[in-house]
Homo-oligomer: A and B are copies of this chain.
Amino acid sequence: MNIARKIMVLACLITAWFLPVVGFGQNKEKVTPYVNPLIGTGAVNNSLSGSTYPGATAPFGFIQLSPDTKENPEWGEPSGYDHNMNKIYGFSHTHLSGTGVADFFDIMLMPATRNLEELTLTSDYSSVFSHDNESAKAGYYQVRLDESDINVELTATTRTGMHRYTYPKGKANTLVFDINHSRDKNSWNTRISNAQVRIIDEYTIEGYRVISGWAKLRKVYFYAKLSLPVKKAILMSDDHIYENGEVANGSNVKALLSFESSDAPLVVKVALSSVSKANAAGNMKENTSWDFDAVAAKTDSEWEKELSKIMIEGTPVQKEIFYTGLYHAFIQPNTFSDSNGEYQAIDYTTRKLESGETQYSTFSLWDSYRATHPLYTILQPERSTDFVNSLLRQYDDYGYLPVWQLWGQENYCMIGNHSIPVVVDAIFKNIKNIDVEKAYEAVKNSSTRSHPNAPFDIWEKYGYMPENLQTQSVSLTLEMAYNDWCVAQLAKYLDRTADYDHFTKRSQFYRNIFNKETGFFWAKDDKGNWLEPFNPLKYGANGGYPITEGNTWQYLWYVPQDVPDFISLMGGDKAFENKLDEFFTLEVTSGEKNNNASGFIGQYAHGNEPSHHVTYLYNYTGAPHKTQYYVSKVMNELYNNTFSGYSGNEDCGQMSAWYVFSSMGFYPVNPANGIYVIGTPLLEQAVISLPGGKTFTMKAPKKSDKDIYIQSVMLNSKKYDNTYIRHQDIISGGVLEFKMGSKPSKWGSNPENRPPNS
Contacts and interface: CB of A to CB of B under 8 A. Distances in A.
Interface stretch (A67-75, A152-160, A241-249): A241-249
Interface of A: 189, 191, 193-194, 196, 198, 208, 210, 212, 216-217, 219, 221, 237-238, 240, 242-250, 275-278, 347-350, 398-400, 409-410, 445, 449-452, 455, 457
B247 A449 contact: yes
A238 B455 CA distance: 13
Contact of A399 (B238, B247, B277): B247
A249 B451 contact: yes
A445 B217 CA distance: 31
Among A238, A348, A398: residue with most chain B CB under 10 A? A348
B212 A452 contact: no
7 contacts: A196-B347, A196-B398, A208-B348, A237-B451, A242-B449, A246-B399, A247-B400
Contacts of A217: 193-194, 210, 217
B216 A193 contact: yes
Nearest to A249: B398
Contact of A237 (B210, B219, B452): B452
Given A193-B216, A249-B451, 18 more contacts: A189-B191, A208-B348, A210-B216, A210-B348, A221-B347, A240-B450, A240-B452, A242-B450, A242-B455, A243-B457, A245-B449, A245-B450, A246-B449, A247-B400, A276-B347, A277-B347, A277-B349, A350-B350
A246 B399 CA distance: 8
Nearest to A242: B450
A278 B350 CA distance: 12
A201 B452 CA distance: 23
Nearest to A275: B349
A208 B245 contact: no
A398 B208 CA distance: 11
A82 B191 CA distance: 32
Contacts of A208: 347-348
Contacts of A398: 196, 247, 249
Contacts of A449: 242, 245-247
* Oligomer copy total: 2
Nearest to A238: B452
Contacts of A248: 451
Contacts of A250: 452
Contacts of A457: 242-244
A410 B195 CA distance: 12
Nearest to A450: B242
Contacts of A455: 240, 242
Contact of A409 (B194, B216, B238, B400): B194
A147 B445 CA distance: 39
A347 B196 CA distance: 9
A212 B193 contact: yes
A616 to B, nearest CB: 36
A464 to B, nearest CB: 18
Nearest to A410: B249
A249 B399 contact: yes
Among A208, A238, A278, A399: residue with most chain B CB under 10 A? A399
Given A247-B399, A250-B452, A219 B189 contact: no
A418 B513 CA distance: 68
A249 B449 CA distance: 11
A219 B345 CA distance: 13
Nearest to A277: B347
A196 B350 CA distance: 17
A445 B246 CA distance: 10
A212 B210 CA distance: 11
5 A-B pairs with the lowest CB-CB distances in the bound complex, closest first: A247-B399, A276-B349, A242-B450, A193-B217, A193-B216
Nearest to A452: B240
A420 to B, nearest CB: 17
Nearest to A458: B243
A231 to B, nearest CB: 18
Contacts of A219: 348
A216 B191 contact: no
Nearest to A351: B276
Nearest to A215: B193
Contacts of A243: 457
A297 B206 CA distance: 50
A183 to B, nearest CB: 16
Contacts of A237: 451-452
A5 to B, nearest CB: 47
A452 B241 CA distance: 10
Contacts of A399: 198, 246-247, 249
A526 to B, nearest CB: 15
A444 to B, nearest CB: 12
A198 to B, nearest CB: 6
A219 B245 CA distance: 30
A50 B244 CA distance: 43
A40 to B, nearest CB: 32
A275 B350 CA distance: 9
A276 B250 CA distance: 25
